[in-house]
């Protein structure tokens, strides 16, 4: 591949990081398969590694602000991590067309989740409900932020949340796709965790499962269990900085209102990518 193409991949990674603010792989993986004919397992591996650096970058402020519930993260990762390992192992074993079909399904599902995102007013109401419910004495967990502000709550229905994060881990390992933006408020919606803590904790969980899935893909490649185009390392070399730069510029110059308006078009983009992948599979 020409270096011009790698620069284009970097721009795509940056754009997805800037406007989606959830994952770069959601665009990189299907585009690598569609335009550059990278084999699906290699595209997934490149997407995972790029996503890891992107998630590491956006997790740093959350770690610094102390908004992550690490105890809750560990509970969710007890199922999500093994699922990610299994998913990555499966991805390296099954034929590429199967991965593409699963990717089509994943893109459609994630597109549908955009219709179930919580409105900002609903999020504020749920946050206030948590404050009113647990008050000063009924809470089991207190997260004290770096600025001294604290969140008090009691995480409930952890079995449901854990199951969904397990599915997210499996999807991450196989397809480099997590749960979409739905994961941001999953713990708020199901387990009564404040929105700020819910979003930060979900990002940390996604970071952890992306890391383990990336390591399994790399291990399988060097162990000879998977054949991947060596160009994936050059792809990552260009895509990862592009994703980080896109995320940085997004935080600086793009408002939340603009993103909310832009996000209405993302389901359509994902559906178009899914249809193009379907055409590619049928015509193969």
- Alpha-carbon distance of 43 to 33, in angstroms, equals 7
- Alpha-carbon distance of 129 to 193, in angstroms, equals 11
The predicted-structure confidence for 177-201, as pLDDT tens digits, reads as follows: 887 677 878 888 888 899 999 989 9
Residue pair 203/79 in contact (Cβ under 8 Å)? The answer is no
> Distance between terminal CA atoms of the chain?
22
| 48, two tokens | 């995972």
Length in residues, the chain: 284
Domain count, the chain: 1
The predicted-structure confidence for 56-75, as pLDDT tens digits, reads as follows: 888 888 999 999 999 999 99
Residue 273: which of 6, 94, 43 has the closest Cα? 43
Residue 167: which of 100, 214, 219, 105 has the closest Cα? 105
The pLDDT score that the predictor gives to residue 265 is 78
- Alpha-carbon distance of 284 to 282, in angstroms, equals 6
Domain carrying residue 118 = 3-283
Packing angle, helices 40-65 and 195-222, rounded to 10: 140
* pLDDT reading at 203 higher than 70: yes
- Alpha-carbon distance of 207 to 55, in angstroms, equals 6
Give the mean pLDDT of the chain.
84
Nearest 5°: phi and psi at 152? -120, 130
DSSP structure class, residue 226: -
In this structure, the number of other CB atoms found within 10 A of the CB of residue 61 comes to: 11
Strands (E), 51-190: 141-144, 150-153
The pLDDT score that the predictor gives to residue 163 is 93
146-171 average pLDDT score: 89
| 263, two tokens | 């996000």
In this prediction, residue 16 has a pLDDT band, given cuts at 50, 70 and 90, of: low
For 111, 193, 234, the CA distances from 64, given in Å and listed in that order, are 32, 19, 31
Element containing residue 269 per DSSP (H, E): helix 266-283
In this prediction, residue 261 has a pLDDT band, given cuts at 50, 70 and 90, of: low
Residue pair 115/182 in contact (Cβ under 8 Å)? The answer is no
Dihedral over alpha carbons 68, 21, 235, 215 (to 10 degrees): 30
* pLDDT reading at 254 higher than 70: no
- The label of the residue with tokens 């948590």 reads 130
């Amino acid at each position: 591949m020409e270096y011009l193409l790698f620069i284009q991949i970097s721009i795509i990674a940056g754009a997805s990081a800037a406007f989606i603010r959830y994952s770069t792989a959601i665009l990189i993986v299907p585009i690598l398969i569609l335009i550059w004919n990278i084999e699906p397992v290699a595209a997934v591996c490149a997407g995972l590694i790029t996503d890891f650096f992107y998630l590491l970058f956006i997790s740093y402020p959350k770690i610094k602000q102390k908004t992550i519930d690490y105890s809750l993260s560990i509970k969710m990762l007890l199922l999500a991590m093994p699922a990610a390992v299994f998913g990555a192992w499966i991805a390296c074993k099954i034929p590429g067309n199967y991965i593409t079909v699963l990717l089509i399904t994943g893109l459609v599902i994630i597109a549908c989740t955009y219709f179930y995102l919580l409105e900002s007013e609903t999020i504020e109401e749920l946050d206030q409900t948590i404050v009113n419910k647990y008050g000063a004495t009924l809470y089991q967990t207190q997260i004290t932020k770096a600025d001294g502000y604290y969140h008090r709550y009691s995480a409930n229905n952890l079995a449901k949340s854990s199951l969904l994060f397990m599915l997210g881990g499996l999807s991450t390992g196989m397809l480099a796709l997590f749960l979409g933006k739905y994961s941001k408020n999953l713990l708020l919606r199901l387990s009564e965790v404040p929105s700020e803590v819910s979003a930060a904790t979900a990002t940390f969980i996604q970071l952890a499962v992306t890391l383990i899935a990336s390591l399994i893909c790399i291990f399988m490649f060097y162990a000879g269990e998977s054949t991947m185009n060596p160009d994936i390392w050059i792809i990552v070399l260009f895509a990862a900085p592009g994703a980080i730069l896109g995320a940085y510029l997004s935080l600086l110059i793009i408002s939340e209102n603009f993103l909310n308006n832009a996000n209405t078009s993302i389901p359509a983009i994902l559906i178009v990518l899914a249809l193009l992948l379907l055409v590619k599979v049928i015509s193969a």
